[in-house]
Amino acid sequence: MSAPPGYADVAHRAAIDLEGAEPQEILAWALDAFHPRFALTTSLGDAVLIDMVSTLRAAIPVLFLDTGYHFAETMGMRAAVAARYPSRLLTITPRLTRDEQDVLYGPRLHDRDPDLCCRLRKVVPLDETLSQYVAWASGIRRDESEARRAVKVVDWDAQRDMVKVNPLAAWSQEDVDRYIAERGVLVNPLVDAGYPSIGCAPCTQAVAVGEDARAGRWAGRPKVECGLHA
């Protein structure tokens, strides 16, 4: 499903109107405007956005991409989040299992062609799922990396013909930490082990103090994004 005509203008106007608004206000706007054709995505580094939507409206679809390469801690987070929150946590899987991918493309594709691996295991499955919605939200923030400095709180996702909502775009790590402490929000145990940004295990390393949060993703390679956030 593509968003109806005029939604790009809605997104561009909201980017201006909602800049400076609290994440909960941005989420409330998105729910009013797009529910039930609105989904939240999560990488399960923490449950901040899931906690926020749970206070606004129950049973919001929350999409988690299970690439088959996640840390055990992330899969544990999935179980904990599913048990605690009323949102519908939906697990999306790639068309190919890891073994099938190895047969077709060779083993350790993530080392040889991470763009193709991300496309097969993340981008295509998410695109297929998001086609049911007209708007989606993610937890990306400007302070995570240089590549994300210009992220808007609401944007037009021209790649998917959808509205993209980034409620935490303007929040700092301190803002996130304060919310987690105040609300007792679930956090992936890897965060305290030096992984402020958590992706697939073969492509994620711990970062040093003072490094960008995403410095441990595809470390030592030119790749900085998986392709989900155009």
Which of 122, 142, 160, 214: binder of ligand SF4 (CB under 6 A)? 122
44 counts as binding ligand SF4 under rule CB under 6 A: no
Contacts of 132 (CB under 8 A, 6+ apart): 1, 37, 39
- Phi and psi at 175, nearest 5°, equal -60, -45
Q: How far apart are CA 201 and CA 55, in angstroms?
A: 31
Contacts of 101 (CB under 8 A, 6+ apart): 94, 109, 117, 120, 121
SS3 170: coil
Residue nearest to ligand SF4 (CB): 200
69 counts as binding ligand SF4 under rule CB under 6 A: yes
Q: What share of the chain is helix, strand, coil (3-state, %, to 5)?
A: 40, 15, 45
Binding region for ligand SF4 (CB under 6 A) out of 7-15, 16-24, 52-60, 110-118: 110-118
199 counts as binding ligand SF4 under rule CB under 6 A: yes
117 counts as binding ligand SF4 under rule CB under 6 A: yes
Minimum Å gap between C-beta 105 and ligand SF4 is: 11
Q: How far apart are CA 150 and CA 143, in angstroms?
A: 10
Which of 43, 67, 74, 197: binder of ligand SF4 (CB under 6 A)? 67
202 counts as binding ligand SF4 under rule CB under 6 A: yes
214 counts as binding ligand SF4 under rule CB under 6 A: no
Minimum Å gap between C-beta 227 and ligand SF4 is: 9
Binding region for ligand SF4 (CB under 6 A) out of 23-31, 56-64, 109-117, 167-175: 109-117
SS3 18: coil
118 counts as binding ligand SF4 under rule CB under 6 A: yes
Q: How far apart are CA 191 and CA 180, in angstroms?
A: 12
DSSP tag of 134 = S
125 counts as binding ligand SF4 under rule CB under 6 A: no
Active site residues: 226
Residues that bind ligand SF4 (CB under 6 A): 67, 69, 110, 114, 117-118, 121-122, 199-200, 202-203, 226
